[in-house]
Each structure stands twice: as C-alpha cells, then as structure tokens.
Amino acid sequence: MLCLFSGNGHGGLALIARTRGLCGVAAILFLLTSCGTPPPVRTLACSAAVPPALAQADGGQVKSMTLKVLTYNIEGLGFPARKGRGTDLAEIGRRLSAMRASGTGPDIILFQEMFSGASKNAVAATGYPAITPGPTISTKPSGSTTEKLPGKARLKRGEVGIRFQGSGLAIASLYPVIASDVRAYGARSCAGLDCLANKGIVLARVFVPGLPTPIDFYNTHMNSRGASRAPDARHLAAHDRQALEASEFIDSTHDDNYPVIFGGDFNMRRSEPRWENFSRYQAMTLVHRVCADTSFGCEVKMSWDGDAPWMDTQDLQFYYSGSPVSVRPIRVEAIFDGSPDSPQLSDHDGFMVTYRLTWPASTEHYFSC
C-alpha cells in the first residue's frame, strides 16, 4: 500500500511511506479520507438559467456581453499530503459563494487540485448550479503512444502503474452545461509522483441564454517539473505527450463554430522547452500575451514583471473565437492573492479574465438548448 503527500506547492503528489509490506491501518484510513468523498456534480436545466445582461453597439447592429472566467488551483491535497487546509478551503467556498450571490464573482471557474474531501466540499459550497468534474480515478487513461519515456520507471517516485486519485479537476458554471467529456492522459504520459493522480482534461459545453452558440470550456492540470521528482528528460517528455493529448482531445470534441476558452495549471513556468513543445500543438491565443501589449486595450489589474509575464506563472488561459461570436479579453486580475480584501488561501493565486463576446445582432440563434 502507498501513502501520499505533496512534493511542493505546484501540484505534485508524493510518496511518503513505503514499507516492505503494507502501510499501517492509519495510513489506509488517510488514503480513504482523501479519496472517499465523490467529486461534486450538478446540472442546471436550460429553462432555469438566468440570462446575462446584453449590450448593443454600432446603432444596434452588434450585441455583446461580458464573461468572467477564473482558473484556480485550490491546493486541495488531503491528509497526510496536507494538513490544516480545511479552514482555508472552507473559506474559498464561502467567499466564492458570496461573490456569486452578489453578482461580482466569476461566471465560470476552472478548478484544479480538488483531491481531498474538504476541497470537494469547498467546490460544492460555492453554490454554482452546474458543476462538471474531470477524469476520476476509474477513467481509463488514453495515450497517444505506447513508447516508453526516457529513463526507467521508479517505484520510489510513485511510477507504479496505479492511480490513487482522480484528476482533481472541475468546471463550475452559472449557466447550463449541455455536454461534457473527459480524457485521462496516457499511462505512459506521466512522470514521477504525478503518476499517482489520473491527470487529464475536461470539457464543459456551456449554454449562455442569448448567445447564438454555446461556448466550449476546457480545463487541465499537466505534469509538474521538480515536484514530480523525475529526471528532467523524463518529465519534459511526459509534459509533451500531455500537450499533444490535450490538443487531440480538443480537436476531437470541439465544434469550430463555437468559441473556446482553455485554462488550467499548465506547469510551464520558466520552462522554454515546455513552452516550445506546447506551442507546437496549440494555436489558440494566450491571454497573457495579448494583454501584455498595451495597444490591445486589456486592463491589467495585477502585478506583471518583464516582457513575458506568462513565463512567471503556471496558471494560464487561452481563447479562440467562433463563428459568429468573437472573443476578446478586456481585463485580467488576481484574486485570493494576499491583498487586503482577498486573502491568499492556496499556494496559487486565482487568475481571472473578463472576456467581451460580440456578434452581429442579425445572427439567428441556430442553437437551441
């Protein structure tokens, strides 16, 4: 039996106890505490959805709306991986619920590291009427290759061929989720301690009343670097495979007429090789890149250093305009970042993007929920 803990604050699950026989009864109970709570699942009927406020421009020829999307790694590893997280996780749920109720919160939340019972309860406590979880512990991994990774698999790094956690992913929405799908990354597409979780990607296709088409939201959490305890060549190759598999999943599940927003914890901070590999597979526009350009007109309400602020974070969002709906980020901000009115409640800040969606007023609603 294996007992789990976190390698560091950036998403790795780690092995803390391995004896010649079984771990003790207490360790088994720890594992059950971490895994026993099912992820929250909620559905919202289209008829119950509250329409957003729509605006008009160009003499009524164009309609628009704004949409806030938060990506947030909530550091939801369970005991003994983490201890003392219950209070902060409960506060995450309480604050997001209050923001939702007041109309100031995100419309869509992309959660990562929702592993522990307390973290799953926190996501449920946000009160969002539609919640779609990612791959579970039982989701069959779907790889793009059977080729071995560089180097050798090591039991002490958790590369045991068994998943002890699901993906830790969830998408929460104010609007109905009319379709969903998941893909767990391949059995040979993980390296080191990350292999103990069934990492992958989740799709939630969201119906927004008044919008001509649905919007496809994707959420992922990719293989860590140092936290994985795997050699550089091994974890880099695993990340590359996951980037490919995420791209394949999006290509196979997305309708090009629909806008796309793709977010999560990509674990590419300060890694040029990971960025180079990832960029080979993804053609979507990076929010950080366009908002760093002052001529674009995107309001930056957070601290950015240097010319490439996307290199300083794991938490990213990408977007793609559909037809006829155009997507444009107009504001980026950090929440739960330690500021006076927004305490830091995780080892990640929340990254929130406000998008403006526009389309011709003459467009017929060719999609019916």
Q: Cα separation of 269 and 323, whole Å? A: 32
Q: Region 76-98: what's the mean pLDDT? A: 91
pLDDT > 70: what percent of the chain?
Answer: 90
Q: Cα separation of 320 and 287, whole Å? A: 10
What's the pLDDT score for residue 56? 93
Give the chain's radius of gyration (CA, Å): 20
3 contact partners, CB below 8 Å, separation of at least 6: 15, 16, 17, 18, 23, 27, 30, 31, 80
Q: Region 38-52: what's the mean pLDDT? A: 96
Query: What number of CA atoms fall less than 13 Å from residue 97's CA on the CB side?
Result: 13
> Which of these ranges, 8-22, 203-217, 268-282, 283-297, has the smallest mean pLDDT?
8-22
The pair of structure tokens assigned to 293 is 């350009």
Q: Region 50-55: what's the mean pLDDT? A: 96
Q: Average per-residue pLDDT in the chain?
A: 90
* Digit-coded pLDDT (tens) for 334-348: 999 999 999 999 999
Q: Is the pLDDT of residue 160 over 80?
A: yes
Confidence of residue 36 (pLDDT cuts 50, 70, 90): confident
Q: Is the pLDDT of residue 279 over 70?
A: yes
Domain assignments of the chain as residue spans, ordered by start = 3-360
Please, what CATH class does the domain formed by 3-360 belong to? alpha beta
Cα end-to-end span (Å), the chain: 47
Q: Which helix (H) or strand (E) holds 289?
A: helix 287-291
| DSSP per-residue codes, 155-196 | GGGT-SS---B----EEEESS-EEEEEEEEEPTTS--GGGGG
Q: Is the pLDDT of residue 14 over 50?
A: no
Measured in degrees and rounded to the nearest 5, phi and psi for residue 68 equal: -100, 130
Q: Is the pLDDT of residue 188 over 80?
A: yes
What's the pLDDT score for residue 158? 85
Closest to 78 (Cα-Cα) out of 18, 127, 133, 122: 122
Long-range contacts of 272-278 (CB under 8 A, 24+ apart): 273/236, 274/225, 274/236, 274/239, 274/240, 275/311, 277/236, 277/239, 277/240, 277/243, 278/239, 278/240, 278/243
> Which of these ranges, 12-16, 80-84, 178-182, 281-285, has the smallest mean pLDDT?
12-16
Closest to 121 (Cα-Cα) out of 183, 161, 76: 76
**Other CB atoms within 10 A of residue 295 CB:** 6
CB-CB contact of 298 with 330 (8 Å): yes
84 contact partners, CB below 8 Å, separation of at least 6: none
Local structure of 111: helix, strand or coil: strand
